[in-house]
């Protein structure tokens, strides 16, 4: 629905509410209105008189009630009741919900959220059951997912110099948000007390849902970065709670890269499962640690003494991940390889999306049957136990994993454990370690403030300077004796270097991973002519490379003609002013 149309609908709803009293602007259903308020907000559906007590507008007496006779009040109410049907009011509410079920935040988002909430609160219980739209249904506001007041949105100001921004996809399930995401955040705050832990979600759809239903405001990534800048944060560490280097992670890196200049240093920590290996057989310490932690917890929650004891009783554990079309989907195959390497013969990895193909529910059912197990315990391989865990895995619909395993008829029992990875202490410890590793490494980005400080020792001007790399292929052309031209302007430093050939087609002032993220701005080559000692000349590629500091190594990734990115470390030293 267009924003203007949503505003008109809200105006009609609110006008009807003013005329009809408690918001029952529909024909009589025999059910009293039961408006509810968002947490921390005033009841948008009920009406109060000047004393703050509920008042019947058509039955008041005395000075306040004398302005409207009983007959006039009855006529007004009757007119409002016949103005719109229950179905029309429910449809208007559904349209307002659909209008905020979007990934983009705009200048009208907060008002749109308030409009959807007001429309819902103005409905009777019977009318709420009729709400149905493209995304809207009665559960959008009505489903009980736990106590939202137990969650801390971590959106405060007064951050200080050092911020640890924990970025999650997010969930509208209150209990999971508090226990899974909140568990990771609390573990990080305890481990790094000198850093202010703040939160951001990447899903605006979820942010809007939580704000509309519970009155809880959660920052998206852009808002969180803007908050950090406004608070004067100097050093920023970003810890994603994502499982892998997938599309969400790539988008996050690009957003952080775009804002990196607002801070002195920016570190981006690894996601839970670490780097993505080259093929399905690739495993690493992070994957092993996660596999051991989630299996150990699942076995304990299932009441078994050990995984072997569960196998002896004919029980298999199936861990359901999300799945992705991103190249990182191989991670799920690697997690199965990791389970196999650990000797977990009764553990299987699947995905909701069925990507990779061998992780689809039907494929997993056949694998469990072939292995001879008659009992199955389903558990999410996801940071949060949100919509996918509650509906796609454990729901009662025919297409849920529980229903499909049951419908197959091959299993004596199909049970579900609805718990996210984020509430497992050993998993929280992995995130803590990843943040620690990021803090010990060189920054992924050094911002404008650091650039100005680094260049402060050099006056504005043009210098010759040595350009050193860790590669014999990536180096300054021999005609230039290992040196480039360093330009200093207003504390910003850039060195131009001529390379040995045209085989390096792009550079990036950062890592290869960052270079491949959406939105990354690559350094384009210039065409340089170099003159050798024998008088011969050659055309080669040159590049203008930002320099964060003199005498300190920094990342500079390159890509050649075959399209493969490589990480390198470079440094600039020994500047001599020539102009």
The sign of the CA dihedral 28, 32, 38, 44 is positive
Torsion of CA 471, 472, 477, 483, to 10 degrees: 50
Query: For residues 576 and 15, which has the higher predicted lDDT (pLDDT)?
Result: 576
Residues in contact with 166: Cβ distance below 8 Å, sequence separation at least 6, in sequence order = 154, 181, 184, 185, 188, 197, 198, 199, 200, 239, 241
- Across 59-63, 109-113, 566-570, least confident range: 59-63
Tokens in use for 560?
């050649």
Burial of 275 (0-12, 13-18, 19+ CB in 10 A): middle
> Would you state the pLDDT for residue 7?
43
Percentage of the chain modeled with pLDDT above 90: 74
**Cα separation, 579 vs 571, whole angstroms:** 22
Architecture of domain 148-268: 3-Layer(aba) Sandwich (3.40)
Backbone dihedral region of 299: left (phi > 0), alpha (psi from -120 to 50 degrees) or beta? alpha
Residues in contact with 85: Cβ distance below 8 Å, sequence separation at least 6, in sequence order = 26, 27
Residues of the chain with CATH 2.60.40.1850: 457-577
Question: What is the residue whose two structure tokens read 């209105």?
Answer: 33
Residues in contact with 569: Cβ distance below 8 Å, sequence separation at least 6, in sequence order = 469, 470, 553, 554, 555, 556
pTM score above 0.85: no
Tokens in use for 426?
């050993």
Instruction: Give the fold, CATH level 3, of 285-382+386-419.
Output: Rossmann fold (3.40.50)
> Would you state the pLDDT for residue 219?
98
**Cα separation, 76 vs 219, whole angstroms:** 43
- Across 48-52, 102-106, 147-151, 259-263, least confident range: 48-52
Residue 48, pLDDT > 60, answer: no
> Would you state the pLDDT for residue 551?
85
Tokens in use for 157?
């100001």
**Cα separation, 107 vs 109, whole angstroms:** 6
Length of the chain: 579
Residue 486, pLDDT > 90, answer: yes
pLDDT band at 476; cut points 50, 70, 90 = very high
Residues of the chain with CATH 3.40.50.1400: 148-268, 285-382+386-419
The model's pLDDT over 102-146, given as tens digits with 9 standing for 90+, comes to 999 999 999 999 999 999 999 999 999 999 999 999 999 999 999
Laid out side by side, the sheet with 504-508 consists of: 504-508, 557-560, 565-566
| Residue-averaged pLDDT of the chain | 86
Nearest alpha-carbon partner for 218 in 253, 179, 168, 261? 168
The DSSP output letter for 204 is H
Nearest alpha-carbon partner for 290 in 433, 436, 437? 433
Burial of 218 (0-12, 13-18, 19+ CB in 10 A): buried
Nearest alpha-carbon partner for 375 in 425, 413, 349, 336? 413
Give the bridge partners for 555, in sequence order.
569
The DSSP output letter for 343 is T
Residue 52, pLDDT > 60, answer: no
Residues in contact with 181: Cβ distance below 8 Å, sequence separation at least 6, in sequence order = 166, 168, 170, 171, 199, 241, 383, 384, 422
The model's pLDDT over 159-187, given as tens digits with 9 standing for 90+, comes to 999 999 999 999 999 999 999 999 999 99
Architecture of domain 457-577: Sandwich (2.60)
> Would you state the pLDDT for residue 3?
40
Hey, which residues are catalytic here? 322
């Amino acid at each position: 629905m267009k924003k203007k149309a949503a505003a008109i609908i809200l105006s009609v709803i609110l006008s009807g509410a003013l005329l009809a009293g408690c918001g029952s602007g529909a024909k009589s259903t025999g059910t009293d209105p039961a408006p509810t308020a968002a947490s921390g907000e005033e009841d948008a559906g009920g009406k109060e008189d000047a004393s703050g007590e509920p008042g019947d507008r058509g039955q008041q007496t005395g000075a306040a009630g004398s302005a409207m006779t009983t007959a006039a009040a009855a006529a007004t109410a009757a007119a409002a009741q016949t103005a719109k049907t229950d179905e029309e009011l429910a449809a208007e509410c559904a349209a307002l919900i659909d209008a905020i079920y979007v990934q983009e935040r705009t200048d009208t988002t907060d008002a749109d959220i308030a409009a959807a909430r007001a429309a819902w609160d103005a409905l009777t219980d019977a009318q709420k059951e009729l709400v149905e739209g493209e995304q809207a249904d009665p559960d959008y506001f009505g489903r009980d997912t736990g106590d939202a007041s137990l969650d801390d949105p971590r959106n405060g100001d007064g951050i200080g110099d050092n911020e640890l921004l924990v970025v999650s996809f997010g969930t509208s399930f209150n209990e999971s948000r508090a226990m899974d995401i909140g568990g990771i955040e609390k573990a990080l705050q305890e481990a790094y007390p000198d850093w202010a832990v703040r939160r951001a979600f990447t899903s605006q759809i979820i942010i809007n849902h939580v704000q509309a239903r519970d009155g809880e405001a959660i920052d998206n990534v852009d808002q969180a970065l803007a908050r950090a800048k406004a608070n004067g944060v100097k050093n920023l560490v970003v810890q994603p709670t994502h499982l892998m280097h997938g599309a969400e992670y790539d988008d996050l890196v690009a957003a952080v890269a775009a804002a990196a200049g607002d801070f002195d240093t920016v570190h981006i920590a690894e996601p839970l499962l670490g780097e993505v290996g080259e093929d399905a057989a690739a495993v690493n310490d992070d994957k092993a640690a996660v596999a051991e932690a989630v299996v150990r917890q699942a076995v304990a929650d299932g009441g078994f003494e050990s995984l072997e004891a569960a196998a002896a009783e004919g029980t298999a554990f199936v861990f359901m991940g999300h799945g992705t079309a991103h190249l990182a989907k191989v991670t799920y195959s690697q997690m199965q390889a990791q389970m196999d390497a650990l000797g977990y013969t009764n553990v299987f990895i699947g995905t909701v999306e069925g990507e990779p193909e061998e992780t689809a529910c039907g494929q997993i059912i056949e694998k469990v049957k072939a292995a001879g197990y008659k009992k199955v315990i389903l558990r999410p391989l996801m940071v949060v136990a949100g919509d996918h865990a509650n509906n796609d895995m454990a729901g009662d619909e025919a297409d849920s994993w529980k229903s499909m395993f049951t419908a197959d008829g091959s299993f004596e029992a199909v049970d579900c454990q609805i718990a996210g990875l984020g509430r497992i202490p050993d998993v929280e410890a992995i995130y803590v370690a990843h943040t620690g590793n990021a803090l010990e490494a060189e920054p992924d980005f050094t911002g404008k403030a650091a650039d100005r400080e680094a260049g402060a020792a050099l006056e504005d001007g043009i210098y010759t300077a040595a350009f050193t790399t860790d590669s014999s292929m990536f180096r300054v052309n021999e005609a230039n004796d290992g040196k480039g031209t360093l330009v200093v302007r207003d504390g910003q430093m850039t060195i131009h270097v001529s390379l040995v050939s045209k085989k390096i087609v792009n550079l990036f002032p950062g890592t290869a991973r960052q270079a491949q993220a959406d939105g990354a701005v690559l350094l384009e080559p210039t065409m340089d002519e170099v003159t050798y000692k024998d008088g011969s000349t050659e055309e080669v590629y040159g590049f203008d490379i930002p320099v964060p500091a003199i005498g300190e190594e920094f990342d500079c990734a390159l890509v050649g003609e075959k399209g493969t990115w490589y990480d390198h470390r470079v440094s600039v030293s020994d500047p001599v002013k020539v102009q």
